[in-house]
Structure 1
Amino acid sequence: MVRYLIIDDEYIAHDIIKGYCSMLPNMQLAKQCYDALEALDYLQQHQVDLIFLDLNMPKLKGFAFLKTLSIPPKIIVTTAYQEYALEGYELNITDYLLKPFSFERFLKAVHKVLEVNPNEISSIAKESKKAQDHIFIYTDKKYIRIQTQDILYIEAAGNYLKVITIKEQFLTREKISNLTRRLVHDSFIQVHKSYIVSKSHIEVIEGNRIKIMDTFIPIGKLYKSNVNDLLG
């Protein structure tokens, strides 16, 4: 059993990490800390195997905290700042996750801690993806949890994506290919270089377009076979 500690001043970051860990065997939450001083106090009397460490925190920064530990456990950095990666590896961290990170990227980091063989990791990823009923997207300087069953379609708009749900829409800076990997593939289909649609919300397929609620979405020539496979 791997006992892990989360140190991050963002509540949503805790939810993401806990949610991802809940999909993996042998991961046990020891404590959630919202600043490094709270973590130092906890570690004086308790031991953990792994720390998920944010860097930009009040009172005491992540790497400053790490330098105070005489025998640190495994460290996976979780941050929005890529410029500190080199310093992190000089401090012998296990991995450096750049927010927002996908479940697959998270799994690779934990893989390094668990030293699980690649075939087992692949199996875990497949089973976890089947069970995943939500995704987190970064928008308006915060992470938003979206139920995948509520997503109607996703549209690429320049360097951004529009995530259209039953009730509202969200704008996030992410590549459509990255988001595709985070979605359950049995539930979504890419029908155009700029569109991913939910299979369960397709109402009509007519010629080279798909209707979802009041919106018509084009079917790209390169993706026609995807739609044909859907029709059997």
Structure 2
Amino acid sequence: MNKIKYIIVDDEPIAHRIIEGYCNDLPHLELQEHCYDALQAMQFLNNHRVDLMFLDINMPKLKGFDFLKTLSYPPKVIVTTAYKEFALEGYELNVCDYLLKPFSFERFVKAVNKAVSTTQTASIAPAHKESTNTEKRRFFVKGDKKYHQVDLNDILFIEAFGNYAKLFLRDEMIITHEKISSYEELLPAGQFIRVHKSFMIAVDKINLVEGNRIIIQDHTIPIGQMYKLNVNKLFE
């Protein structure tokens, strides 16, 4: 499984230690460089390609957002800052998430999930688009007091389970600490659809649709009355 290469751009050494420590607990992330100002990051990015950048805003010489505006093909960006008043500008620059210091590991994981599970075509030069689009997208879910790395291609369907959700994969089932509505926001529309108030499925894993039920491997998933239109669109 390909590693996601990242850099940290922050003038505070303690911020580097915290972010790197969190990333060390997510095995699909691989540190490429510690950059302590934007100019150092600019020089590094001129010669190396990375997938993800943790970027502080308030740095000497060149501010974080001013630096970001200079990049023609920026990597995916997670802003890490103590200044919440700049959040709007960050989203206008298409950053993946905006982490307000100090942030918890759980909040950090959510930000990384957003970054690695969404496609940001501007993050790479056009010559590399084909190889990047085929790259498997992954995210982490919390279940059984552990963080499980999940590949989108392994998801069969999701079942609501009170304030939790059951994530059915090719080879296992994980009870996760997220509601099914959270997966509707996280997973790419079109590839995953809601077919019942308690079920969301991976379209490419459907074996057959029969009456008011969907068969995926040896699982039978009901089609809710309110969600029939979602299923019917598959046949258009």
TM-score, structure 2 as length reference: 0.56
Q: CA deviation digits over 1:91-149, x for unaligned, max 9?
A: 98973262432569559xxxxxxxxxxxxx98659x98885533322223443221222
Would you say the 8 A contact 2:136–2:151 is kept in 1?
A: no
Q: CA deviation digits over 1:188-207, x for unaligned, max 9?
A: 22101211111122122121
1:189 equivalent to 2:193? Answer yes
Aligned to 2:157: 153
1:101 equivalent to 2:110? Answer yes
What is the rounded CA distance, in whole Å, between the counterparts of 1:196 and 1:165 in structure 2?
Answer: 13
1:231 equivalent to 2:235? Answer yes
Pairs aligned (count):
174
Aligned to 2:83: 89
Aligned to 1:76: 79
Q: CA deviation at 1:217?
A: 0.8
Unaligned 5+ residue runs, structure 1?
19-27, 32-41, 54-68, 78-84, 108-120
Aligned to 2:206: 202
Q: CA deviation at 1:152?
A: 1.0
Q: Which amino acid aligns with 1:224?
A: K
Evaluate the alpha carbon distance shift between residue 146 and residue 105 of structure 1 in structure 2; reply closer, same or farther with a 3 A threshold.
closer
Q: How do 1:1-232 and structure 2 match up within 5 A?
A: 4-5=8-9, 7-10=19-22, 11-13=24-26, 15=28, 29-31=32-34, 43=36, 47-48=40-41, 51=54, 74=64, 76-77=79-80, 88-89=82-83, 95-96=98-99, 98-101=107-110, 106=115, 124=122, 132-232=136-236
Q: CA deviation at 1:161?
A: 1.1
TM-score, structure 1 as length reference: 0.56
Q: CA deviation digits over 1:195-228, x for unaligned, max 9?
A: 1111122122121111112221111111100110
Evaluate the alpha carbon distance shift between residue 132 and residue 90 of structure 1 in structure 2; reply closer, same or farther with a 3 A threshold.
same
Evaluate the alpha carbon distance shift between residue 104 and residue 129 of structure 1 in structure 2; reply closer, same or farther with a 3 A threshold.
farther
Would you say the 8 A contact 1:132–1:184 is kept in 2?
A: no
Evaluate the alpha carbon distance shift between residue 51 and residue 199 of structure 1 in structure 2; reply closer, same or farther with a 3 A threshold.
closer
Q: Which amino acid aligns with 1:225?
A: L
Aligned to 2:69: none
SS in 2 for 1:181: helix
Evaluate the alpha carbon distance shift between residue 189 and residue 91 of structure 1 in structure 2; reply closer, same or farther with a 3 A threshold.
closer
What is the rounded CA distance, in whole Å, between the counterparts of 1:90 and 1:204 in structure 2?
Answer: 49
Would you say the 8 A contact 2:157–2:201 is kept in 1?
A: yes
Q: CA deviation at 1:13?
A: 4.0
What is the rounded CA distance, in whole Å, between the counterparts of 1:130 and 1:103 in structure 2?
Answer: 19
